[in-house]
Structure 1
């Protein structure tokens, strides 16, 4: 038996022994004439009246019945009334504290009966007998039922507390999951773009290593530069993950991330990878919210990365339109066309500007143009998630003239959730 159970049992045992001792002492030293002398059976019946209190917590109703029965037999044997009738009253108090009110009222019936029997045996005035027969059970039930209500309220409070703790833990797990997703998006954007450029340049360098040494040297230089840029962005990302503000307790998740003012570097890297990028800026650039600034850069970066992977050597039109209410990004690439037909197409350019032929990623074809790199479709998913966080809209789909077009609209004011019915476009 555990210690928490031993302690209430010890208390109840002490209470029962105390009532038994008091009853025996009262019977032994208070022996008025007219009643049976307090002898051995009297001691036994006094103990039988009090000892059921040992089980008043676990079996409250049987304890009431047993105690009341013991006292009724005690009075029936002709012994003088004494303090013994308080044992059934205490048992009734415990019953009201652990069982519903209806059960407590049922248990009060034998207690009222033995109190009335005690008053009649003691030749008390009928009014006094009725008063004590009414007041003692009512007070016991009132105190006991109040305790019963408090126990139930505490149990409900514990349940609510447990639910709140579980909800808080669930929210903490969701927050960790969202943070991991954000980190995964950042790592994808950093690694995918730079590794795509490095892969294309490495394939070009391998192809022209013996035939065009200056071109190979230039490609290797681009590889080194792109690798350094990737390392710089990864360092900035790790810094954001490690450092937190000591002044206000809030992190600065966008402080070290690249923004739109670094578009020239991004375009330069894409041009080095073989793209023909034509950049157009419209409107008057103004200060952007950090989350929108980072999102715009990442959308352009991912769109150019997709073109490098799926349509190497294509012409790309990049437009950034600044308005007072939003920033509109348009990245549109033409289909890659090879010689062989009247329009320069030999059928190898797939839908959306994707080359339909296979081959090892990063190598070049016999005509000196880089091969396409297989994609997973995660790039557009990441872009769409970023744009939704900003409350914007994203469409990504092939356009009629061949090639692919990505359009992102990022509001500058209070963000809203993207509409569930917005077109998903086509992922590549």
Structure 2
């Protein structure tokens, strides 16, 4: 398990929040003025609100504009102004909502060790204001004041906890994204190593041909000049192919690994053997070939073979039942390989296999898509241009 710490500071979210707080404060000031104007006082309990009272109402309400950024200071300033206002004997209901909003804000933006003392102080202020109540309201008045403050604190605390949970979720999501990126990077490095080892054999094949042709040319150089010239042509073509493969490798690979022995060079010539192995493992594979096939360079040939191999392996691992349809469509401009199944498919993520297939396709300017099918199942499609990959 890993430890982490999340700091949550719910600062204003922009102009919308600022405008909202200003509008809310103006509305609450107007509401307090309405309360003192329509104050029912048949028993003469409260002092008439004069200029001092209106100034104190402003002192109680105006700081609420900054309640998000400075919730503790606003709460204490609001409660202090309310205490003075109530001590003079002004009507208590005019400031109840302001105190409740201050309590909510400090609970929403600060932890209980700060918000609880502020709530206790706010309760004391409201209880002090309810010392002057109408006959018959001696219990209901103070109880209502306490409930207002406690409900405000509860809503604020719930808001804070929800914000902390969202912040924690963001942190965990970012951590998981970084881990997934690192895993994908490692997968690419491992796959690059495998491709490098496989391509080593491709280059070795080219060099073997060059060696044989060079020996033949040297042997017949004097006795059969036309044959010697043909061997030089073959050497030039093979060397050009080898250089192309090396350029692609140097462009993609930054390092190589020694985790596994060199893989056997494979290609479409071994496709029948691959299909036989897959069928022997319990899968059924229907194969369709259209168009006139072309001879691929060893590198692209290996790319197509490995992608078909990985796709059929995924069918064996994830499809239920393991039934696949494979098509190879040759055209004048490219080769399209499609492997699909329509059975139930287990969870197939962006794993090492898909990463490797995409790396192989990009190496030869191809494009690979791997997506769930709308009607169920999975489909892998490789589109490979033929202008640079045919021999």
* 1:30 matches 2:39: yes
Corresponding residue of 1:141: 153
Pairs aligned (count): 251
**Quick one: which of 81, 99, 118 aligns to 1:107?**
118
**Quick one: which of 114, 121, 125 aligns to 2:132?**
121
Structure with larger RCO (C-alpha < 8 A, sep 6+): 2
Corresponding residue of 2:15: 6
**Distance in 2 between the 1:17 and 1:56 partners?**
14
Corresponding residue of 1:74: 85
Inter-CA distance 34–135: structure 2 relative to 1 (3 Å threshold): closer
Counterparts of residues 338-417 of structure 1 (less than 5 Å): none
Deviations 1:70-111 (A, max 9, x none): 111111223222231221111111211122122221111211
Inter-CA distance 159–140: structure 2 relative to 1 (3 Å threshold): same
Counterparts of residues 100-249 of structure 1 (less than 5 Å): 100-123=111-134, 125-199=137-211, 201-202=213-214, 205-206=217-218, 209=221, 212-214=222-224, 221=230
Corresponding residue of 1:315: none
**Quick one: which of 28, 43, 67 aligns to 1:56?**
67
Do the aligned residues in 1 keep the contact of 2:127 with 2:146 (CA within 8 Å)? no
SS in 2 for 1:35: coil
Please identify, of 42-51 and 117-126, the stretch whose mean Cα deviation from structure 2 is larger. Answer: 117-126
Q: Following TM superposition, by how much is the alpha carbon of 1:183 offset from its aligned partner in structure 2, in angstroms?
A: 3.6
Task: Specify every segment of 5 or more residues in structure 1 that has no aligned partner in the other structure, as ranges.
Answer: 237-253, 263-285, 291-296, 299-428
Do the aligned residues in 2 keep the contact of 1:20 with 1:50 (CA within 8 Å)? yes
Inter-CA distance 24–261: structure 2 relative to 1 (3 Å threshold): closer
Q: Following TM superposition, by how much is the alpha carbon of 1:192 offset from its aligned partner in structure 2, in angstroms?
A: 2.5
SS in 1 for 2:49: coil
Inter-CA distance 27–255: structure 2 relative to 1 (3 Å threshold): farther
Do the aligned residues in 2 keep the contact of 1:31 with 1:80 (CA within 8 Å)? no
What TM-score does the superposition give when structure 2 sets the normalisation length? 0.54
Please identify, of 8-17 and 24-33, the stretch whose mean Cα deviation from structure 2 is larger. Answer: 24-33
Inter-CA distance 287–31: structure 2 relative to 1 (3 Å threshold): closer
Do the aligned residues in 1 keep the contact of 2:218 with 2:228 (CA within 8 Å)? no
Inter-CA distance 233–16: structure 2 relative to 1 (3 Å threshold): same
**Distance in 2 between the 1:261 and 1:7 partners?**
66
Larger Rg: 1
Do the aligned residues in 2 keep the contact of 1:194 with 1:227 (CA within 8 Å)? no
Deviations 1:296-336 (A, max 9, x none): x99xxxxxxxxxxxxxxxxxxxxxxxxxxxxxxxxxxxxxx
Task: Specify every segment of 5 or more residues in structure 2 that has no aligned partner in the other structure, as ranges.
Answer: 1-10, 246-264, 280-297, 300-391
Corresponding residue of 2:350: none
SS in 2 for 1:79: coil
Deviations 1:95-135 (A, max 9, x none): 11122122221111211111111110335643224412432
SS in 1 for 2:154: helix
Q: Following TM superposition, by how much is the alpha carbon of 1:21 offset from its aligned partner in structure 2, in angstroms?
A: 1.3
